[in-house]
Chains A and B, each alone.
Chain A
């Protein structure tokens, strides 16, 4: 097991270097000079232009810039935003709990509906339920997030008045961030109604963000169930006269879950990228919206640092899933 874990861990290093290279290169490959963009129609005179380039360190050879960047990253320094002058890590720390809270709720929503729907569709293969689940999940998977979000807002918030339009909590509550998780902070604050307000603000964004993972999980669970249910040991279990629920729950689901767990791990990446759109629509103060804004402002350090941190999170989750997978299924850790 240790050997397996170590192999997996060493794979993280090239991935990490790849990510730093990619984030560093991509934003510099975008044509146009950040200083010209900042100055706009007003323009900036050549001396000032040179001075600003020097201040941002853009006048040095690109390899040198990259080398400095890597050195800083390894020493834990992601730099400071060129706009707000606040350290990138500090802004990330303030915003990440919001993203995480939303992602967790979205995942719970996706699992709560996706798993049972997939199982039932798998068991009742070919039924109307199965066809409906497959059709709906295909729709959910191909739904443009932005459009879906606006649609839900117009229906539930504007027309029916059931949920608030956007934000994390009603402006009447003034919750000082303690953990950064609004659901927890509102409970800690003890303010009447604050928790309810926070929950109501989470519903629509969680549904929107959870839609694609839900579709993927439902489809994956269904096909995994189908595969497992055709195995010999299921037939044996049935022949032994075990109760159908027991056959499906204990023998079927347990084995079908292994590929499903991998897919869930991969969906974490989807959740974090989906957060960019979802957070923008719902004015959710998380890292997705923050990164989008840093692109508009050509805020290199924030963009680089933010992407790196998010990529690290995804790597971490996938590593955990890989290791877990090894724990659940010994064939994997011994397979060469």
Chain B
């Protein structure tokens, strides 16, 4: 026991550096929930699984929301928008594990397996690992799909129940990762069905080597990757939940890249000669929604006036401390079809007061502001933000009471429309403008509640519906641009901010790009010798 104590107290050993030249250590923020992305919704899980171990039929171009071919080399869409035919890539190999070696390449059966497992209750693999496919359900895939047809080994046809242009973007999402049917069958036969999701087999650039719960995940570069072997021989996720500690590890050279820095540390990081800080606007929007079913917010002049009464720049400075930009549109600027010509309401309390008087409220009125109890990327401190807005509105005669509930309760009550005005936000799922505009502002969403403004405006909604029916990106862009103009005129929200994502990394990291979806992707990354 004495020697044990002495060893515990010995203070002589240096922290070891990182040995292999092409071993990248990423200080991830938490443990993955599992390795089958279709079962989960957390970004931490996607980083550890789908982003680096799997492919999808279509992929998002590295660092953008543009769609490029993945396991499908090309695809055709029928004129009625109901049939999508995918031509699959040939010669794509799956990973191996200790208990499984693939005997065939990727083909149409794997595609059908990956979707039918999530879709059909009677699929033999459907109930594995709890059988909850939150994203598949959440994106309405079950209602959308009519049939998946195997045309031949390398051709698959998806039949839809109604035209839905964002479908193709859905196929680029994490839940749509393609898994090996052969592996699933082999594990089922061997009586170890748990292995299917614990050690899943994909086609991506990195394969899972080892996971020690809550501590470390090891991946090896997959030499037979269809797009060419990654430059990194080893990829290591060193799980480090505290942001200050992640930064300390980055400084000490114990990791190369870290996510989610403390905003307060950014200036220090930028001043550090060993560290590069990349930044980009996040794929999100924070807003204040007016309940347009309630007086006086049924009057567009009131909504416009309260837009003009808010000093957005002060909010950005006080709440985001540089980690946010003022939002004009409900879409973030990183998404295609963002309309840069839309002009925001100026901060003008005088004009706001005049407009309120015109609307019949020369002395203002009383209302409430709901403030979220949690931190979100698009709103790091809702309570403080509500206080600033409260003061701004008081200056034009509008008295607002701040209301808050526990998070689950808050979401539920605001979905039921119990608020006058509500602070909330959204992070994009698939990089399609529909995923912001229709989900947050469409008429259907005003009924089911994700449209917290409960704003159903036919001319706006018609544009969105038309954009769902055409797959031509140029046409869709024009429609969404017009929709953003209408949105601004009608002012169902005060658009507040898009967060800015910071990614600190050591200087030797090369080729890294920030994923607009918030993921961490290492295929094209290498380390300078």
Contact = CB atoms under 8 A, between A and B. Distances in A.
Given A32-B408, A33-B412, A183-B4, A157 B34 contact: no
A171 B408 contact: no
Interface residues of A, number: 69
Contact of A109 (B1, B8, B409): B8
Contacts of A173: 16
B408 A33 contact: yes
B138 A85 contact: no
B425 A41 contact: yes
A112 interface: yes
Given A33-B408, A36-B411, A202-B8, A293 B31 contact: yes
Contacts of B249: 165-166
Main SS class of interface, A: helix
B409 A32 contact: yes
A161 B14 contact: yes
Interface stretch (A12-20, A247-255, A278-286, A308-316): A278-286
Contact of A199 (B8, B210, B248, B448): B8
B5 A84 contact: no
A95 interface: yes
Contacts of B31: 293
Interface in B433-467: 448-450
B432 to A, nearest CB: 15
Given A84-B33, A203-B11, A31 B406 contact: yes
A293 B44 CA distance: 13
A150 interface: yes
A163 B11 contact: yes
Contacts of A36: 407-409, 411-412
Interface residues of B, number: 66
Interface in A70-100: 82-85, 91, 94-95
A172 B415 CA distance: 49
A283 B411 CA distance: 32
A161 B252 contact: yes
Contacts of B138: 39, 42, 44
Given A31-B406, A170-B16, A290 B214 contact: yes
A105 B7 CA distance: 9
Contact of A172 (B5, B7, B19, B251): B19
A281 B245 contact: yes
Interface stretch (B233-241, B308-316, B321-329, B334-342): B233-241
Nearest to A40: B411
Nearest to A202: B8
A153 interface: yes
Interface string A105-126: 1001100100000000000000
Given A164-B16, A200-B12, 12 more contacts: A33-B412, A38-B134, A43-B415, A43-B448, A104-B4, A112-B9, A153-B245, A163-B13, A172-B20, A283-B241, A293-B214, A297-B33
